[in-house]
Chains A and B, each alone.
Chain A
């Protein structure tokens, strides 16, 4: 191995000093044998002089018996590991390769491109910071390209380098390169990528892999190697929210009690206030203890042992977090799951769930949808097969303390383990706390049917029941309109019940806060009540902020579309602020209330409504009249 540094021969101490300061980049190579992936890896290893002479000799011997590169040394053979695979001529697992330059050490997760091996790619991608997507210059963006990009992105990789390979077979054409770049950018729009980097190359001949070569003079970007050496992968590291999942308690004697773990995110210093979850007890960091002496500060990725100033109860599975930035907690979570075993995943079956904060028993309670990784279409299904990717809801018997996977790859990930074979059978990425909208009720429950028909109720009450959902910002006038509407209907001899967001929270929803998930649950409960009342022939007037359009449409779906009337009270926010007697906007401005729609959280203006009222222009009477008119039009006011 000859690293190309003069320093090795002239000043080894200086060389060592330089190399001991290198950083580490873990990347994934996606593509099939046909795209020249193994050749690219072989080329990176070969041209960075990481292949020893005896390995090269053994490679030359192999090339004559198994190779497919004609007279040249078949670099692809370097990366094929196991005997059976070599004979089959395909790579069938995740293999890890290593090389380093003066700037960085690299770990390559080499995963196969074949369709049936989603599972391997997911495994490889889980620890990577960057993905190289290989495209055969002759074929351009194909289904496989999309699949690889989607999976890499699903696993949280935002840095993508698109290697447009085999440029020698398309006459080194810049036009072709541009064409493929446009194709890729078009399809990658919905993905959450940092600007993908496009690199033309010929892995076989070496152009623009490590050396620039002569054939791609028109290309003014970096070589693949130069890009790998310089790409910034630190930009996404979270230094704000401290998370230390406690792996074990170190207690060598009565005087020392340390909490050991690897920092998942954030920074810690002696003197910091931390909270232990799930207990919620706070303490102060006393020291960051290591064999090399106490540290003044420690950040993400560091394996440390913390001591605290108070004797609080902390054990394996607990999480130490920074005060005021607590993670999410729930028994039910929504997650993207990749299924990794032949035996299908079925609803209700018990699995073990392993997460940064420990092990619990879990079942998948709902499959929201499965993603077809070729078309990215969402499909409904009752079970998952090997290599399926789906958005599901998981219910655990222990409270999970987590962040969304998009925010934290360490605290947002879990694996599912088979209780009998102990095999790892699923990988999960948490998207948020699970809502109850989709949760199926217990199978054993049966609905009791009423002896009074809807027609009889309609005649008795002189109406066809409806649910009027008044939505809009705080202080838009929803409750005022609802109260006036209730009066009007009552005066006309109709039977109506008013459900007010705040009133519901005073009782039925007093356990809920104001996060998006809690708002959603509050509305679900209101929808259940509305449906119950509608079924009894009674009209419902519901006044809720309901800022999320998806949740509003779920509300209408649950109540029944033919009974629902969504009224958007679209009062300009300045007017709302003026009318706000309770000072909620001021408190939201001062960050005393978090996630406040219109201030620190969005109100989704998607046009889901049936009627739009601007309460800054219309009087209360006019607003109520408009709603009455719609109720009449739709036949709700006659029995």
Chain B
């Protein structure tokens, strides 16, 4: 077999290789599963995931719906962005809220981030997946986000209770993904497993992918509590004695429920400026995410229970 050194026109940059890998994974899921779904969190990783999916099935439409687990505490701008994107791209979106949680008035202020996350995110997610009978769910998790994710598979097997067992994961070789599941079992699929935060930003920049404006700095009403800058996004915000909203130039590095997402003070209003700040920064992305720090190894615990 003849070999030759790669000419430039055939050389794939790291982003092109990551893109090809993600597309391959998505196509494999659609070919192997009956009812795939994409979990759409509206964040930048979800925006990339959606962009990749459109590439994978071009010129056809997405062969699966999106599910958004709506805790009702998302930033208002996120929901506006979501609805506009769904409309513009002609997507099918299912917004799911845990009604039981709503009835009990579960909220991030009174119930602590652990309980709140469990009920409004983890339980809601399981309900949404069960309701749709989905056997495969795409997610935008990356292995570089957190220690326990470093060993996560691309096809992550879940039992019929959506539990992840770190000792019982299938070895994953080459690009042969084993998608066999029995009835009731499912897999979570992470097509951007091998991307880092920098890759995500570079790709957004290169591909001109639209993201929620909250990622860009703007004057926003915020409160600083235990060193975390929280945005006062609506009148449900519970002030503590002596607190009041002040306007600061802030942006968000990760988006979730507004009371649980810490902002950073910044003047970055363009993508290159955001990337510049990130590269010069010394704080990692998840630090603004309150839920990781409840207890040691806490992401691992959450994953065992079925959190993404």
Give Cα A3–Cα B172 distance, bound, in whole angstroms. 32
A residues near B6, Cβ cutoff 8 Å: 234, 237, 239, 299
**B6-21 residues at the A interface, CB under 8 angstroms:** 6, 9-21
Cβ-closest chain A residue relative to B193: A96
Select A52's contact among B143, B148, B282, beta carbons within 8 Å: B282
The answer to whether B9 touches A424, judged by C-beta atoms less than 8 angstroms apart, is no
B residues near A107, Cβ cutoff 8 Å: 194
The answer to whether A24 touches B10, judged by C-beta atoms less than 8 angstroms apart, is no
The answer to whether B3 touches A247, judged by C-beta atoms less than 8 angstroms apart, is no
Give Cα A120–Cα B153 distance, bound, in whole angstroms. 12
Select A16's contact among B23, B56, B171, B272, beta carbons within 8 Å: B272
Number of B positions contacting A (CB below 8 A): 75
Binds B, one of A97-105, A159-167, A199-207, A459-467: A97-105
**A225-252 residues at the B interface, CB under 8 angstroms:** 232, 234-241, 247-248, 250-252
* A289-B58, A302-B20 given; A98·B3 CB < 8 A: no
The answer to whether B171 touches A119, judged by C-beta atoms less than 8 angstroms apart, is yes
A594 to B: closest C-beta gap in Å: 14
**B171-190 residues at the A interface, CB under 8 angstroms:** 171-176, 178, 180-182
**B186-229 residues at the A interface, CB under 8 angstroms:** 193-194, 196, 198-199, 202, 205-206
Select A126's contact among B147, B173, B287, beta carbons within 8 Å: B173
The answer to whether B2 touches A301, judged by C-beta atoms less than 8 angstroms apart, is no
The answer to whether B17 touches A301, judged by C-beta atoms less than 8 angstroms apart, is yes
A residues near B151, Cβ cutoff 8 Å: 81-82, 93-96
Interface size range of chain A in the complex? 35 or more
Give Cα A9–Cα B276 distance, bound, in whole angstroms. 7
Is B60 located at the chain interface by the 8 A CB criterion?
A: yes
* A81-B150, A100-B198, A235-B3 given; A55·B284 CB < 8 A: yes
The answer to whether A95 touches B24, judged by C-beta atoms less than 8 angstroms apart, is no
A residues near B297, Cβ cutoff 8 Å: 82-83
B152 to A: closest C-beta gap in Å: 9
Give Cα A82–Cα B297 distance, bound, in whole angstroms. 8
B149 to A: closest C-beta gap in Å: 8
A residues near B280, Cβ cutoff 8 Å: 2, 8-9
The answer to whether B59 touches A250, judged by C-beta atoms less than 8 angstroms apart, is yes
The answer to whether B276 touches A12, judged by C-beta atoms less than 8 angstroms apart, is yes
The answer to whether B60 touches A252, judged by C-beta atoms less than 8 angstroms apart, is yes
B residues near A82, Cβ cutoff 8 Å: 147-148, 151, 166, 297, 300
A residues near B77, Cβ cutoff 8 Å: none
Binds B, one of A141-149, A411-419, A482-490, A580-588: A411-419
Is A174 located at the chain interface by the 8 A CB criterion?
A: no
The answer to whether B175 touches A122, judged by C-beta atoms less than 8 angstroms apart, is no
Chain A 112-130, CB-CB to B under 8 Å as 1, else 0, gives 0000000110110011000
Give Cα A52–Cα B30 distance, bound, in whole angstroms. 37
Cβ-closest chain A residue relative to B169: A93
Instruction: List 14 other contacts, CB 8 Å, given A241-B1, A355-B176.
Output: A80-B147, A81-B148, A83-B300, A93-B169, A94-B171, A122-B173, A247-B28, A291-B59, A300-B10, A302-B20, A303-B19, A415-B173, A415-B176, A427-B171
Q: Which 8 residue pairs are nearest across A and B when measured between Cβ atoms? A: A299-B10, A52-B284, A252-B60, A422-B180, A53-B282, A303-B23, A24-B14, A105-B14
17 contacts between A and B (CB under 8 A): A16-B205, A23-B17, A52-B287, A53-B282, A79-B150, A93-B169, A98-B143, A98-B194, A127-B173, A127-B174, A237-B6, A239-B6, A250-B59, A261-B24, A422-B180, A424-B170, A424-B171
